[in-house]
Amino acid sequence: MKADFLSGVIEGFYGPPWTATERSMVLNWMQAFQLNTYLYAPKDDLKQRLLWRVPYTSQETSELKLLIDNCHAHGVRFVFAISPGLDMAYAQASELETLQGRLEQLYELGVRDFAILFDDIPDSMRAEDRRRFGTFALAQSHAANHLYRYLTGRAASRARFFFCPTPYCGRMRRAGLGGERYLEEIGETLDPGIDVFWTGPEIISSQISVKDIESLANTLRRPPLLWDNLHANDYDGQRFYCGPYSGRPLELRSEIQGILHNPNNEALLNFVPWKTLSDFIHAKATWNPRESYLNAMNDWHASFESAGSPIDLEDLVLLGDCFYLPEEEGSEAAQLFRNAEQWLKAPLNKKQVFYRPFQEPATRLRNICAEIVNLENRHLFSALHRKTWDLREEMELLLTFAKQMKSDPTSQLRSDYHLPGTYRGGMVSKLRGLIEQRSDGSFIPVT
Protein backbone atom coordinates (compact mmCIF):
# COMPACT_ATOMS: atom_id res chain seq x y z
CA MET A 1 0.00 0.00 0.00
CA LYS A 2 1.29 3.46 -0.90
CA ALA A 3 2.45 5.51 2.05
CA ASP A 4 0.20 8.41 1.01
CA PHE A 5 -2.89 6.23 0.42
CA LEU A 6 -5.83 8.04 2.02
CA SER A 7 -8.29 6.00 4.07
CA GLY A 8 -10.96 7.21 6.37
CA VAL A 9 -14.30 8.76 7.10
CA ILE A 10 -16.43 11.49 5.55
CA GLU A 11 -18.87 13.33 7.77
CA GLY A 12 -20.71 14.36 4.64
CA PHE A 13 -24.31 13.23 4.93
CA TYR A 14 -27.65 15.04 4.93
CA GLY A 15 -28.90 15.20 8.51
CA PRO A 16 -27.77 16.46 11.93
CA PRO A 17 -23.96 16.60 12.19
CA TRP A 18 -22.30 14.37 14.77
CA THR A 19 -21.83 15.61 18.31
CA ALA A 20 -18.41 16.17 19.88
CA THR A 21 -18.86 12.91 21.82
CA GLU A 22 -19.69 10.99 18.67
CA ARG A 23 -16.70 12.45 16.84
CA SER A 24 -14.38 11.42 19.66
CA MET A 25 -15.71 7.87 19.44
CA VAL A 26 -15.28 7.90 15.65
CA LEU A 27 -11.66 9.02 16.01
CA ASN A 28 -10.96 6.31 18.57
CA TRP A 29 -12.28 3.72 16.12
CA MET A 30 -10.32 5.26 13.25
CA GLN A 31 -7.10 5.08 15.23
CA ALA A 32 -7.78 1.46 16.19
CA PHE A 33 -8.57 0.58 12.56
CA GLN A 34 -5.56 2.51 11.17
CA LEU A 35 -7.69 4.91 9.10
CA ASN A 36 -5.88 8.18 8.47
CA THR A 37 -8.25 10.87 7.11
CA TYR A 38 -11.35 12.68 8.39
CA LEU A 39 -13.21 14.84 5.86
CA TYR A 40 -15.50 17.44 7.46
CA ALA A 41 -18.38 18.16 5.09
CA PRO A 42 -21.75 17.81 6.87
CA LYS A 43 -24.50 19.12 4.58
CA ASP A 44 -26.37 20.51 7.59
CA ASP A 45 -23.51 22.69 8.77
CA LEU A 46 -25.10 25.71 7.10
CA LYS A 47 -21.80 27.61 6.93
CA GLN A 48 -20.19 24.72 5.10
CA ARG A 49 -22.81 24.82 2.31
CA LEU A 50 -25.93 27.00 2.31
CA LEU A 51 -24.43 29.99 4.15
CA TRP A 52 -20.86 29.46 2.96
CA ARG A 53 -20.18 33.20 2.77
CA VAL A 54 -20.83 33.71 6.50
CA PRO A 55 -17.73 33.28 8.72
CA TYR A 56 -17.84 30.98 11.71
CA THR A 57 -18.43 32.64 15.07
CA SER A 58 -15.91 32.41 17.90
CA GLN A 59 -18.05 29.73 19.55
CA GLU A 60 -18.17 27.72 16.31
CA THR A 61 -14.43 28.05 15.73
CA SER A 62 -13.80 26.85 19.27
CA GLU A 63 -15.85 23.72 18.58
CA LEU A 64 -14.08 23.13 15.27
CA LYS A 65 -10.71 23.65 16.94
CA LEU A 66 -11.50 20.85 19.38
CA LEU A 67 -12.26 18.51 16.49
CA ILE A 68 -9.16 19.54 14.54
CA ASP A 69 -6.89 19.07 17.55
CA ASN A 70 -8.56 15.74 18.36
CA CYS A 71 -7.88 14.52 14.83
CA HIS A 72 -4.23 15.49 15.06
CA ALA A 73 -3.94 13.83 18.49
CA HIS A 74 -5.19 10.59 16.94
CA GLY A 75 -2.79 10.81 14.00
CA VAL A 76 -5.66 11.57 11.61
CA ARG A 77 -5.51 14.10 8.76
CA PHE A 78 -8.33 16.67 9.06
CA VAL A 79 -9.76 17.99 5.79
CA PHE A 80 -12.20 20.89 5.76
CA ALA A 81 -14.61 21.01 2.82
CA ILE A 82 -16.58 23.98 1.58
CA SER A 83 -19.51 23.69 -0.84
CA PRO A 84 -20.27 27.02 -2.56
CA GLY A 85 -21.93 25.66 -5.69
CA LEU A 86 -25.57 26.27 -4.77
CA ASP A 87 -25.30 29.98 -5.60
CA MET A 88 -21.69 30.89 -6.36
CA ALA A 89 -21.06 33.68 -8.88
CA TYR A 90 -17.87 32.33 -10.45
CA ALA A 91 -17.08 35.48 -12.45
CA GLN A 92 -17.03 37.76 -9.41
CA ALA A 93 -13.60 38.18 -7.85
CA SER A 94 -15.23 38.91 -4.49
CA GLU A 95 -16.53 35.33 -4.35
CA LEU A 96 -13.00 33.97 -4.56
CA GLU A 97 -11.92 36.41 -1.89
CA THR A 98 -14.73 35.14 0.35
CA LEU A 99 -13.70 31.53 -0.22
CA GLN A 100 -10.09 32.41 0.47
CA GLY A 101 -11.15 34.14 3.68
CA ARG A 102 -12.95 31.03 4.86
CA LEU A 103 -9.90 28.87 4.17
CA GLU A 104 -7.75 31.41 6.00
CA GLN A 105 -10.08 31.24 9.01
CA LEU A 106 -9.67 27.45 9.14
CA TYR A 107 -5.95 27.67 8.39
CA GLU A 108 -5.52 29.74 11.54
CA LEU A 109 -7.20 26.90 13.46
CA GLY A 110 -4.56 24.45 12.25
CA VAL A 111 -6.18 23.06 9.09
CA ARG A 112 -3.78 22.40 6.20
CA ASP A 113 -5.90 20.23 3.90
CA PHE A 114 -9.04 21.44 2.16
CA ALA A 115 -11.70 20.41 -0.34
CA ILE A 116 -14.09 22.30 -2.59
CA LEU A 117 -17.26 20.39 -3.41
CA PHE A 118 -19.59 21.03 -6.34
CA ASP A 119 -21.91 18.07 -5.80
CA ASP A 120 -25.73 18.16 -5.68
CA ILE A 121 -26.09 21.65 -7.16
CA PRO A 122 -28.28 23.18 -9.91
CA ASP A 123 -27.11 22.25 -13.41
CA SER A 124 -27.23 25.82 -14.70
CA MET A 125 -24.96 28.87 -14.92
CA ARG A 126 -25.45 32.58 -14.47
CA ALA A 127 -25.26 34.53 -17.73
CA GLU A 128 -22.14 36.44 -16.62
CA ASP A 129 -20.42 33.19 -15.63
CA ARG A 130 -21.19 31.66 -19.02
CA ARG A 131 -19.84 34.73 -20.81
CA ARG A 132 -16.64 34.64 -18.76
CA PHE A 133 -15.93 30.89 -18.70
CA GLY A 134 -18.22 29.22 -21.20
CA THR A 135 -18.69 26.01 -19.21
CA PHE A 136 -19.30 24.81 -15.66
CA ALA A 137 -16.08 22.81 -15.74
CA LEU A 138 -13.91 25.81 -16.60
CA ALA A 139 -15.61 28.02 -14.00
CA GLN A 140 -15.21 25.45 -11.22
CA SER A 141 -11.66 24.61 -12.26
CA HIS A 142 -10.76 28.30 -12.12
CA ALA A 143 -12.08 28.57 -8.54
CA ALA A 144 -10.36 25.37 -7.38
CA ASN A 145 -7.02 26.31 -8.96
CA HIS A 146 -7.12 29.76 -7.38
CA LEU A 147 -7.62 28.29 -3.90
CA TYR A 148 -5.03 25.57 -4.45
CA ARG A 149 -2.40 28.12 -5.49
CA TYR A 150 -3.21 30.19 -2.44
CA LEU A 151 -2.84 27.21 -0.11
CA THR A 152 0.38 25.89 -1.62
CA GLY A 153 1.86 29.36 -1.34
CA ARG A 154 0.65 29.65 2.25
CA ALA A 155 1.80 26.25 3.50
CA ALA A 156 5.40 25.32 4.14
CA SER A 157 4.74 21.82 2.80
CA ARG A 158 2.43 20.61 0.03
CA ALA A 159 -1.21 20.92 1.04
CA ARG A 160 -3.64 18.21 -0.04
CA PHE A 161 -6.53 19.74 -1.92
CA PHE A 162 -9.64 17.88 -3.10
CA PHE A 163 -12.31 18.57 -5.70
CA CYS A 164 -15.75 17.00 -6.09
CA PRO A 165 -17.15 17.39 -9.61
CA THR A 166 -20.81 18.05 -10.37
CA PRO A 167 -21.14 14.70 -12.19
CA TYR A 168 -19.50 12.51 -9.57
CA CYS A 169 -20.63 9.07 -10.78
CA GLY A 170 -20.84 7.23 -14.08
CA ARG A 171 -24.60 7.60 -14.44
CA MET A 172 -24.42 11.38 -13.98
CA ARG A 173 -21.64 11.54 -16.54
CA ARG A 174 -23.66 9.58 -19.10
CA ALA A 175 -26.65 11.86 -18.49
CA GLY A 176 -24.51 14.89 -19.40
CA LEU A 177 -24.78 16.55 -15.98
CA GLY A 178 -22.59 19.65 -15.89
CA GLY A 179 -22.40 19.87 -19.68
CA GLU A 180 -20.73 18.12 -22.56
CA ARG A 181 -17.09 17.11 -21.94
CA TYR A 182 -17.31 18.26 -18.32
CA LEU A 183 -14.89 15.66 -16.94
CA GLU A 184 -12.58 15.97 -19.93
CA GLU A 185 -12.28 19.71 -19.30
CA ILE A 186 -11.67 19.12 -15.60
CA GLY A 187 -8.87 16.73 -16.51
CA GLU A 188 -7.35 19.26 -18.90
CA THR A 189 -7.58 22.38 -16.71
CA LEU A 190 -7.59 21.34 -13.05
CA ASP A 191 -4.14 21.62 -11.45
CA PRO A 192 -2.49 18.16 -11.46
CA GLY A 193 -1.92 18.42 -7.72
CA ILE A 194 -5.64 18.44 -6.94
CA ASP A 195 -7.33 15.11 -6.14
CA VAL A 196 -10.77 14.42 -7.67
CA PHE A 197 -13.56 12.52 -5.90
CA TRP A 198 -15.61 9.79 -7.59
CA THR A 199 -18.35 7.50 -6.24
CA GLY A 200 -18.24 4.83 -8.94
CA PRO A 201 -20.80 3.89 -11.59
CA GLU A 202 -23.62 5.03 -9.28
CA ILE A 203 -24.08 7.34 -6.31
CA ILE A 204 -24.42 4.17 -4.25
CA SER A 205 -22.20 1.70 -6.10
CA SER A 206 -22.54 -1.97 -5.22
CA GLN A 207 -19.58 -2.77 -7.50
CA ILE A 208 -16.58 -0.72 -8.65
CA SER A 209 -14.30 -2.30 -11.23
CA VAL A 210 -10.65 -1.67 -12.05
CA LYS A 211 -11.56 -1.21 -15.72
CA ASP A 212 -13.98 1.63 -14.98
CA ILE A 213 -11.47 3.40 -12.75
CA GLU A 214 -8.67 3.06 -15.32
CA SER A 215 -10.90 4.66 -17.95
CA LEU A 216 -11.86 7.48 -15.60
CA ALA A 217 -8.23 8.09 -14.64
CA ASN A 218 -7.37 8.58 -18.31
CA THR A 219 -10.11 11.19 -18.57
CA LEU A 220 -9.15 12.99 -15.36
CA ARG A 221 -5.42 12.63 -16.05
CA ARG A 222 -4.94 11.43 -12.48
CA PRO A 223 -6.11 8.51 -10.32
CA PRO A 224 -9.40 9.38 -8.61
CA LEU A 225 -10.10 9.35 -4.88
CA LEU A 226 -13.14 7.26 -3.92
CA TRP A 227 -15.94 9.01 -2.04
CA ASP A 228 -17.61 5.72 -1.15
CA ASN A 229 -21.33 5.82 -0.33
CA LEU A 230 -21.76 2.05 0.06
CA HIS A 231 -23.08 2.30 3.63
CA ALA A 232 -24.65 5.78 3.46
CA ASN A 233 -28.26 5.80 4.68
CA ASP A 234 -29.27 9.46 4.62
CA TYR A 235 -31.58 8.71 1.68
CA ASP A 236 -33.56 6.08 3.66
CA GLY A 237 -34.14 6.71 7.34
CA GLN A 238 -35.75 3.28 7.87
CA ARG A 239 -32.55 1.38 7.07
CA PHE A 240 -28.93 1.23 8.10
CA TYR A 241 -26.12 -0.87 6.68
CA CYS A 242 -23.76 -2.97 8.76
CA GLY A 243 -22.63 -5.41 6.09
CA PRO A 244 -18.98 -5.62 5.06
CA TYR A 245 -17.09 -3.30 2.78
CA SER A 246 -17.31 -5.27 -0.46
CA GLY A 247 -17.82 -5.15 -4.22
CA ARG A 248 -14.34 -3.76 -4.81
CA PRO A 249 -11.41 -6.00 -5.83
CA LEU A 250 -8.14 -5.67 -3.95
CA GLU A 251 -6.48 -4.63 -7.22
CA LEU A 252 -8.53 -1.42 -7.14
CA ARG A 253 -6.32 -0.04 -4.39
CA SER A 254 -3.41 0.48 -6.76
CA GLU A 255 -5.59 2.47 -9.20
CA ILE A 256 -6.90 5.11 -6.77
CA GLN A 257 -5.56 7.75 -4.38
CA GLY A 258 -7.54 6.32 -1.49
CA ILE A 259 -10.98 5.54 -0.08
CA LEU A 260 -13.00 7.92 2.07
CA HIS A 261 -16.20 6.40 3.40
CA ASN A 262 -19.49 8.33 3.68
CA PRO A 263 -21.30 6.23 6.31
CA ASN A 264 -24.57 5.72 8.17
CA ASN A 265 -25.76 8.97 9.76
CA GLU A 266 -25.84 7.21 13.12
CA ALA A 267 -22.17 7.16 14.14
CA LEU A 268 -22.60 4.17 16.46
CA LEU A 269 -23.81 1.97 13.59
CA ASN A 270 -20.57 2.23 11.61
CA PHE A 271 -18.31 -0.07 13.63
CA VAL A 272 -18.61 -3.02 11.23
CA PRO A 273 -18.40 -0.95 8.01
CA TRP A 274 -15.21 0.80 9.18
CA LYS A 275 -13.62 -2.35 10.62
CA THR A 276 -14.19 -4.22 7.36
CA LEU A 277 -13.02 -1.21 5.33
CA SER A 278 -9.80 -1.34 7.33
CA ASP A 279 -9.50 -5.08 6.67
CA PHE A 280 -9.90 -4.42 2.93
CA ILE A 281 -7.32 -1.64 2.88
CA HIS A 282 -4.73 -3.62 4.83
CA ALA A 283 -5.38 -7.05 3.29
CA LYS A 284 -2.40 -8.77 1.70
CA ALA A 285 -3.09 -11.36 -1.01
CA THR A 286 -6.68 -12.41 -0.25
CA TRP A 287 -9.87 -10.79 0.93
CA ASN A 288 -13.08 -12.42 2.16
CA PRO A 289 -15.83 -9.87 2.92
CA ARG A 290 -18.08 -12.34 4.75
CA GLU A 291 -15.27 -13.54 6.98
CA SER A 292 -14.31 -9.94 7.74
CA TYR A 293 -17.95 -9.18 8.56
CA LEU A 294 -18.29 -12.09 10.98
CA ASN A 295 -15.06 -11.10 12.75
CA ALA A 296 -16.21 -7.50 13.04
CA MET A 297 -19.63 -8.55 14.33
CA ASN A 298 -17.87 -10.62 16.97
CA ASP A 299 -15.99 -7.49 18.08
CA TRP A 300 -19.13 -5.32 17.96
CA HIS A 301 -21.07 -7.88 20.02
CA ALA A 302 -19.51 -6.52 23.22
CA SER A 303 -21.56 -3.32 22.76
CA PHE A 304 -24.84 -5.24 23.04
CA GLU A 305 -24.96 -5.85 26.79
CA SER A 306 -28.62 -6.13 27.75
CA ALA A 307 -30.38 -5.41 31.03
CA GLY A 308 -32.80 -8.18 30.01
CA SER A 309 -31.93 -11.44 28.28
CA PRO A 310 -28.44 -11.83 26.78
CA ILE A 311 -28.13 -11.19 23.05
CA ASP A 312 -26.23 -14.06 21.45
CA LEU A 313 -23.69 -13.41 18.72
CA GLU A 314 -25.60 -15.73 16.37
CA ASP A 315 -28.73 -13.63 16.83
CA LEU A 316 -26.81 -10.41 16.29
CA VAL A 317 -25.45 -11.79 13.01
CA LEU A 318 -29.00 -12.65 11.91
CA LEU A 319 -30.11 -9.10 12.72
CA GLY A 320 -27.11 -7.64 10.90
CA ASP A 321 -27.87 -9.78 7.88
CA CYS A 322 -31.25 -8.02 7.64
CA PHE A 323 -29.45 -4.64 7.45
CA TYR A 324 -26.55 -5.74 5.29
CA LEU A 325 -26.00 -3.67 2.14
CA PRO A 326 -28.31 -1.56 -0.07
CA GLU A 327 -28.72 -4.26 -2.74
CA GLU A 328 -27.93 -7.35 -0.71
CA GLU A 329 -29.09 -9.16 2.41
CA GLY A 330 -26.69 -11.31 4.38
CA SER A 331 -26.93 -15.05 3.80
CA GLU A 332 -29.04 -15.83 6.89
CA ALA A 333 -31.56 -13.08 6.16
CA ALA A 334 -31.74 -14.10 2.51
CA GLN A 335 -32.48 -17.70 3.54
CA LEU A 336 -35.14 -16.56 6.02
CA PHE A 337 -36.88 -14.61 3.25
CA ARG A 338 -36.78 -17.60 0.89
CA ASN A 339 -38.28 -19.81 3.59
CA ALA A 340 -41.06 -17.28 4.25
CA GLU A 341 -41.83 -17.00 0.56
CA GLN A 342 -41.99 -20.79 0.10
CA TRP A 343 -44.26 -21.18 3.12
CA LEU A 344 -46.72 -18.48 2.06
CA LYS A 345 -46.89 -19.78 -1.52
CA ALA A 346 -47.25 -23.45 -0.54
CA PRO A 347 -50.61 -25.23 -0.97
CA LEU A 348 -52.71 -25.53 2.20
CA ASN A 349 -51.86 -29.20 2.73
CA LYS A 350 -48.11 -28.44 2.76
CA LYS A 351 -47.96 -25.11 4.57
CA GLN A 352 -46.94 -26.57 7.93
CA VAL A 353 -44.07 -28.48 6.32
CA PHE A 354 -42.72 -25.29 4.74
CA TYR A 355 -43.41 -23.24 7.85
CA ARG A 356 -41.02 -25.16 10.10
CA PRO A 357 -37.74 -23.92 8.47
CA PHE A 358 -39.05 -20.34 8.78
CA GLN A 359 -40.37 -20.50 12.33
CA GLU A 360 -37.13 -20.83 14.31
CA PRO A 361 -35.10 -17.98 12.74
CA ALA A 362 -38.21 -15.77 12.55
CA THR A 363 -38.84 -16.24 16.26
CA ARG A 364 -35.21 -15.50 17.04
CA LEU A 365 -35.33 -12.36 14.91
CA ARG A 366 -38.52 -11.11 16.54
CA ASN A 367 -37.04 -11.68 19.98
CA ILE A 368 -33.74 -9.91 19.32
CA CYS A 369 -35.61 -6.91 17.87
CA ALA A 370 -37.64 -6.83 21.08
CA GLU A 371 -34.51 -7.16 23.19
CA ILE A 372 -32.98 -4.03 21.62
CA VAL A 373 -35.24 -2.07 23.98
CA ASN A 374 -33.21 -3.41 26.93
CA LEU A 375 -29.74 -2.41 25.69
CA GLU A 376 -27.63 -0.87 28.45
CA ASN A 377 -26.02 1.43 25.87
CA ARG A 378 -28.97 3.79 25.41
CA HIS A 379 -27.29 5.70 22.58
CA LEU A 380 -27.01 2.44 20.65
CA PHE A 381 -30.63 1.70 21.48
CA SER A 382 -31.68 5.09 20.11
CA ALA A 383 -29.72 4.52 16.90
CA LEU A 384 -31.30 1.09 16.33
CA HIS A 385 -34.78 1.29 17.81
CA ARG A 386 -36.80 2.89 15.00
CA LYS A 387 -35.22 0.63 12.41
CA THR A 388 -35.56 -2.66 14.28
CA TRP A 389 -39.12 -1.85 15.39
CA ASP A 390 -40.47 -2.21 11.85
CA LEU A 391 -38.67 -5.55 11.44
CA ARG A 392 -40.09 -6.78 14.73
CA GLU A 393 -43.62 -5.86 13.63
CA GLU A 394 -43.26 -7.78 10.36
CA MET A 395 -41.97 -10.87 12.17
CA GLU A 396 -44.77 -10.66 14.72
CA LEU A 397 -47.39 -10.41 11.99
CA LEU A 398 -46.03 -13.42 10.08
CA LEU A 399 -45.76 -15.55 13.22
CA THR A 400 -49.30 -14.59 14.22
CA PHE A 401 -50.50 -15.51 10.75
CA ALA A 402 -48.87 -18.93 11.04
CA LYS A 403 -50.44 -19.59 14.42
CA GLN A 404 -53.89 -18.63 13.13
CA MET A 405 -53.53 -20.75 9.99
CA LYS A 406 -52.61 -23.78 12.06
CA SER A 407 -56.04 -23.72 13.73
CA ASP A 408 -57.96 -22.51 10.65
CA PRO A 409 -56.02 -22.63 7.34
CA THR A 410 -58.74 -20.74 5.44
CA SER A 411 -59.21 -17.83 7.85
CA GLN A 412 -58.27 -14.24 7.12
CA LEU A 413 -55.45 -12.79 9.17
CA ARG A 414 -56.38 -10.05 11.61
CA SER A 415 -54.32 -8.52 14.40
CA ASP A 416 -55.29 -6.34 17.34
CA TYR A 417 -51.90 -4.60 17.09
CA HIS A 418 -51.70 -3.88 13.35
CA LEU A 419 -54.59 -1.55 12.67
CA PRO A 420 -55.20 0.32 9.38
CA GLY A 421 -53.68 3.79 9.43
CA THR A 422 -51.37 3.06 12.37
CA TYR A 423 -49.52 0.10 10.82
CA ARG A 424 -47.91 0.75 7.43
CA GLY A 425 -49.79 4.03 7.51
CA GLY A 426 -49.15 7.63 6.52
CA MET A 427 -48.95 9.59 3.29
CA VAL A 428 -45.73 7.97 2.05
CA SER A 429 -47.18 4.50 2.48
CA LYS A 430 -50.31 5.51 0.55
CA LEU A 431 -48.27 6.97 -2.28
CA ARG A 432 -46.13 3.84 -2.49
CA GLY A 433 -49.30 1.87 -2.94
CA LEU A 434 -50.08 3.71 -6.19
CA ILE A 435 -47.06 2.54 -8.19
CA GLU A 436 -45.01 -0.64 -8.21
CA GLN A 437 -41.33 -0.90 -9.08
CA ARG A 438 -40.42 -3.91 -11.20
CA SER A 439 -37.15 -5.84 -11.02
CA ASP A 440 -35.75 -3.96 -14.04
CA GLY A 441 -36.15 -0.64 -12.20
CA SER A 442 -39.19 0.60 -14.13
CA PHE A 443 -42.45 1.62 -12.45
CA ILE A 444 -46.03 0.68 -13.33
CA PRO A 445 -49.35 1.87 -11.84
CA VAL A 446 -50.99 -0.52 -9.42
CA THR A 447 -54.36 -1.56 -10.83
The C-alpha angle 205, 211, 213, rounded to 5 degrees, equals: 60
Choose, from 4, 69, 119, 120, the residue flagged as catalytic: 120
**Sign of dihedral through CA atoms 97, 196, 6, 232?**
positive
Residues contacting 206, CB < 8 A, separation 6+: 230, 247, 325, 326, 327, 328
Nearest to 178 by CA among 231, 120, 224, 236: 120
Nearest to 91 by CA among 114, 123, 125, 116: 125
Angstrom distance (rounded) from CA 1 to CA 281:
8
> Which residues are 258's β-sheet partners?
6, 225
Angstrom distance (rounded) from CA 313 to CA 177:
46
List of E strands, 35-84: 37-40, 77-82
Active site residue 315: no
Q: Which phi and psi (to 5°) does residue 210 adopt?
A: -60, -40
Radius of gyration, CA atoms only, the chain: 25
**Alpha carbon separation from 24 to 35, 38, 272 (Å, rounded):** 14, 12, 17
Angstrom distance (rounded) from CA 124 to CA 120:
12
- 333-339-344-350 Cα dihedral, nearest 10 degrees: -160
Do residues 78 and 67 make contact, with C-beta atoms less than 8 angstroms apart? yes
Angle 271-282/20-33 helices, nearest 10 degrees?
30
Is 156 exposed, middle or buried (CB count within 10 Å of its CB: 0-12, 13-18, 19+)?
A: exposed
Do residues 48 and 41 make contact, with C-beta atoms less than 8 angstroms apart? yes
Nearest to 5 by CA among 369, 254, 324, 251: 254
Angstrom distance (rounded) from CA 87 to CA 163:
17
Q: How many residues does the chain have?
A: 447
Nearest to 325 by CA among 244, 211, 220, 419: 244
Longest dimension (CA), the chain: 80
So which residues are the catalytic ones? 120
